[in-house]
Amino acid sequence: MVQKVLTVVGARPQFIKAAAVSRAIAACPGLVEVMVHTGQHFDPSMSDVFFNELGIPAVGHNLDIHGGGHGQMTGRMLEAIEQTILEEKPDWLLVYGDTNSTLAGALAAAKLHIPVAHVEAGLRSFNRAMPEEINRVLTDHVSHLLFCPTGSAVSNLAREGIATGVHLVGDVMFDATIDAVRRAGDNPTILGRLGLTRGAYVVATVHRAENTDTEESLEAVLSVLKDKARSMPVVLPLHPRTRQVASRFGLDFDALTVIDPVGYLDMAALLGHCAEVMTDSGGLQKEAYFHRKPCTTLRGETEWVETITCGWNRLWRGPDYAPRRDIAEYGDGHAAEKIVEIMLAAAGVA
């Protein structure tokens, strides 16, 4: 019996994670996947390039939903995903991470009694002011299979009374990074295009609502990046939303090396040869570690607490780096294969 998996994605980090899991699904005769793209990230530089570079399966349903407030966006996605589920009649709905697309997919499936599998379950920043925190908590509480990347994620779920269906599998982003390094090779042409010297520049990203919702918050982040740029170039692949917000506030990016968003392979090359990373992205904090680069997180907390305790990451307004050591619990690069094996066993196919 072949099980149909309806995968819901909508944002850059999800495309990267889905690439790893979709490869494992494609290699498994017991599962067939249908890809749903909500349209949350719709700019070609934030979407199409990842599908092309990473070999993600062709989109079966593009819902083309973006813009508007959180409630409006999530509500429109919920309605459209529900119709897609009714049309496709999947056996599973698979979601990733903590975006509006994640929550909408999980809620639509739960209300139609379709079991939900959540990749990157159990992460907590313990800051309920973050939309992402609300999304991940609610998604976990309606999921049947919860694929945790770390032991702390398992512990977080246990504290919330969730123990059934919880599996520690490692981090699919590690799987994706291993594949990206292999694909990118050791010829980072993007460094030449930008005139960068290996080991002598910083990679930065800024997009979180807490850093872009007010003029004061965005100005504070840009001030930190501009201060860093006095010592070495700071490369900032600029999120379209951040660019729009900065323009509205009348803020500039002077002194920073601003570029358009880049594909995953170019980003892997930038990370692989930089001196350090400064970001408010959860995913990039881990990618920095996978490339063994120190990271400064431009937030007051992080859901990836082990990157702090193991000395690879620090909060921008917190203490300096702890003594550095390896993080063993992210797995061995085979998290995606474990996810597929568990789904097959849960479906009685294995």
Q: What positions carry a catalytic annotation?
A: 207
What lies within 8 Å, CB to CB, of 328 at 6+ separation is: none
Enumerate the β-bridge partners of residue 224: none
What lies within 8 Å, CB to CB, of 148 at 6+ separation is: 120, 121, 122, 154, 157, 166, 167, 168, 169
- Note the helical H segments in the chain: 12-26, 48-54, 70-88, 100-111, 131-141, 151-159, 172-184, 189-194, 209-212, 215-228, 240-249, 264-273, 282-290, 305-309, 335-347
| Cα distance between residue 207 and residue 201, in whole Å | 20
| Cα distance between residue 117 and residue 4, in whole Å | 13
